Structure 1
């Protein structure tokens, strides 16, 4: 079943913005027998990237490496892909574009979720005089850090289309959460200075933006119930929220029902004239659930202890690597560090060999050079990039190496 209301404004070849939507930073090689569209190609490029693989061991909200049923970031991005696909297909939008934006929107997210992000934000502010926010960092990762092997065996940047890159950097924030319209202007995405500064450039990006919220609110509640961190009175309050908005029966607030009802309401309410929108009832419900989650889940005391642990892990890795800086002699210093910290030193030295202009950079690396080791600020940026790339598990492995004698 489809309404097709947005088919004329979707991302397709007759759209006046099409050339901008599919534009890449540099031309990309083509295979004569390739049957994929530009956006389908972006989807598979993201899918095969190492940053995407690491999402399976990155915290969404709850760090639970030993619990198979708690949502990780890789599950979250696939929830967003599923929700946005359902909405886009019904509305007549480009599902290949929503799929690519959705699975790429959290690449490069810091380990330990927002706890890790907050510490990196402080480092960047103090050391680099800049801001760090995960949407911008995701754009940096897909543009500059992630690589794939091309048809000649060379490592090159992902080089995604403008529409996908735009959807990634604009996926978060609360800009006109109800009635989202795409912006008219296509500009340099690095001109965006903060989260929620602007709406996405495409209708598909708008769908992913709101699908992100549909995807995490109910699932975070489900995980909180599974981990039994909500009290009986808090659960009763949750049930009362459902009753208040007439959306659910007494014991029916589940992730499945929340996602279904939000999707149906959004599809019924949205139009090119009104924008991607919820009805007033469901907008109030989503805001009530968001307030509930912040009050009882995201600020739960057990998460405060976890945040302290996450900060200790990230800070220990950062300070250890920071102390190794010796300008252009840093790779040699890291070799000496390898006697004590073999995994950390060798792994970070490989990172510098790939992204810094050093004697160790080989011809197979045709990706962008990011760091000049003569500049201390470039070295700090290298550490920030390296840490933000990590999975929780790998960060803990390095922390254990640093703290074990």
Structure 2
């Protein structure tokens, strides 16, 4: 039987008393302390407070629409019940706002980080990310990471003057690296932020060393894992990935998606209320880490999941990368790269910046284009560029066994 914990009576009474007496969390990030590259454009209005503006800027960006057809874990299934990146982002936001609300944190900042954290993700999930990194590094000696690229999309390709607090949370979300305790490392300097971003391009391990600057970003970071741990199991079961029902450890957090979300929220809030850090009990952390390890063994490393990437999608991405790079270096204005990407970005950035997008390096332009693609767009582009190409991906339809 599923088991759902609840907040202790003592903590519930404390939270209600603090709310009744208007005691604010001193560790919550204040709208008044927001930092932007251009502060002259920041007007902290009642109508659109600082991080509400960030949320809306992200949601109205054309790239936000593309979440809907990007793989979360399972590619090439015609199945409306399987998570796409759009539903993952919404679930992260919901979980993070639940935690943040109970802790008295800035939920608008939490939401802006959540909505933007995967906007730079590649098609075909982490498999696509690994292959694009391989190609980019092989050509430039620089690393591609989706969290860093999400910052590039929101701060460089479409420079919308987002707050450093939102951008830092996106950069540092590192959803693959769980911790028992999250302690923010405060700073308020875009020079430091830019150095952190550049270090991730140059140093393979820099991404793992990132520490968020706000408690709100820490909440989003742990919520990223909470959001996918049980949901990916749910999706795998729907697709019949397991020949027999797996025996997940569960432990203190439980096995089902609902249990994991509920019990992790409760334990984090119990251990973190009124503190300047986030923490969970040791046995919860051990169960959480074990659950993620089991997901990697039983789901992400499953041969049924990985075969199509190795045999079809990875070679397709390499062919596309090399073809687009040739067009970028030759400045071919008749190419798909120019007509469907460069011209589009230049038109859109005209609203935000006077910088000429074409001054970026050819490899960066190609990476920007590929990372922006949805799964379907990628497949269609391959067919368009290589009508006689030897690689093909076949979707598993609604009525396929």
C-alpha separation between the residues in 1 aligned to 2:294 and 2:177?
20
- Correspondence for 1:347: 340
Larger mean CA deviation between 66-75 and 307-316 belongs to: 307-316
Report the CA distance shift for 1:30/1:306 in structure 2 as closer, same or farther (over 3 A): same
Are residue 191 (structure 1) and residue 195 (structure 2) matched? yes
Cα distance per residue 1:367-388 (max 9 Å; x no partner) = 5334427xxxx11211111111
C-alpha separation between the residues in 1 aligned to 2:178 and 2:316?
37
Cα distance per residue 1:133-176 (max 9 Å; x no partner) = 11111111110113xxxxxxxxxx22100110000000015667
- Correspondence for 1:8: 26
Among candidates 326, 329, 353, match of residue 366 of structure 1: 353
The equivalences for 1:318-357 within 5 A come to 318-327=321-330, 330=331, 333-335=332-334, 337=335, 346-351=339-344, 353-354=346-347
Query: 2:102 touches 2:269 (CA, 8 Å); kept in 1?
Result: yes
- Correspondence for 2:9: none
- Correspondence for 1:285: 287
Cα distance per residue 1:282-321 (max 9 Å; x no partner) = 1111111111101010011022222222213322221221
TM-score (norm 2): 0.82
Q: What's the CA shift for 1:352?
A: 6.8
C-alpha separation between the residues in 1 aligned to 2:28 and 2:341?
43
C-alpha separation between the residues in 1 aligned to 2:165 and 2:276?
22
- Correspondence for 2:381: 398
C-alpha separation between the residues in 1 aligned to 2:168 and 2:384?
38
Q: How many residue pairs are counted as aligned between the two chains?
A: 359
Q: Which runs of 5+ in 1 are unaligned?
A: 147-156, 338-342, 356-360
C-alpha separation between the residues in 2 aligned to 1:259 and 1:161?
29
Larger mean CA deviation between 346-355 and 315-324 belongs to: 346-355
Query: 1:170 touches 1:198 (CA, 8 Å); kept in 2?
Result: yes
Report the CA distance shift for 1:367/1:123 in structure 2 as closer, same or farther (over 3 A): farther
- Correspondence for 1:154: none
Query: 1:182 touches 1:200 (CA, 8 Å); kept in 2?
Result: yes
Query: 2:54 touches 2:112 (CA, 8 Å); kept in 1?
Result: yes
- Correspondence for 1:152: none
- Correspondence for 2:277: 275
Query: 1:6 touches 1:91 (CA, 8 Å); kept in 2?
Result: no
Query: 1:6 touches 1:271 (CA, 8 Å); kept in 2?
Result: no
Query: 1:175 touches 1:199 (CA, 8 Å); kept in 2?
Result: no
Among candidates 106, 129, 133, match of residue 117 of structure 1: 129
Query: 2:182 touches 2:277 (CA, 8 Å); kept in 1?
Result: yes
The secondary structure found in structure 1 opposite 2:119 is coil
Report the CA distance shift for 1:45/1:265 in structure 2 as closer, same or farther (over 3 A): same
Among candidates 51, 55, 67, match of residue 79 of structure 2: 67
Query: 1:352 touches 1:382 (CA, 8 Å); kept in 2?
Result: no
Q: Which runs of 5+ in 2 are unaligned?
A: 1-11, 201-205, 389-401
The equivalences for 1:142-161 within 5 A come to 142-146=154-158, 157-161=159-163
C-alpha separation between the residues in 2 aligned to 1:176 and 1:352?
35
- Correspondence for 1:303: 305
Query: 2:328 touches 2:337 (CA, 8 Å); kept in 1?
Result: no
Query: 1:144 touches 1:367 (CA, 8 Å); kept in 2?
Result: no
Report the CA distance shift for 1:354/1:380 in structure 2 as closer, same or farther (over 3 A): farther
C-alpha separation between the residues in 2 aligned to 1:28 and 1:71?
40
Report the CA distance shift for 1:7/1:53 in structure 2 as closer, same or farther (over 3 A): same
Report the CA distance shift for 1:367/1:180 in structure 2 as closer, same or farther (over 3 A): farther
Query: 2:253 touches 2:259 (CA, 8 Å); kept in 1?
Result: no
C-alpha separation between the residues in 1 aligned to 2:351 and 2:213?
35
C-alpha separation between the residues in 2 aligned to 1:34 and 1:271?
28
Among candidates 112, 117, 120, match of residue 105 of structure 1: 117
Among candidates 359, 363, 368, match of residue 385 of structure 1: 368
CA RMSD, aligned part only? 2.6
Q: Point out which structure has higher relative CO (alpha carbons under 8 A, 6+ apart).
A: 2
Among candidates 66, 91, 96, match of residue 108 of structure 2: 96
C-alpha separation between the residues in 2 aligned to 1:130 and 1:28?
34
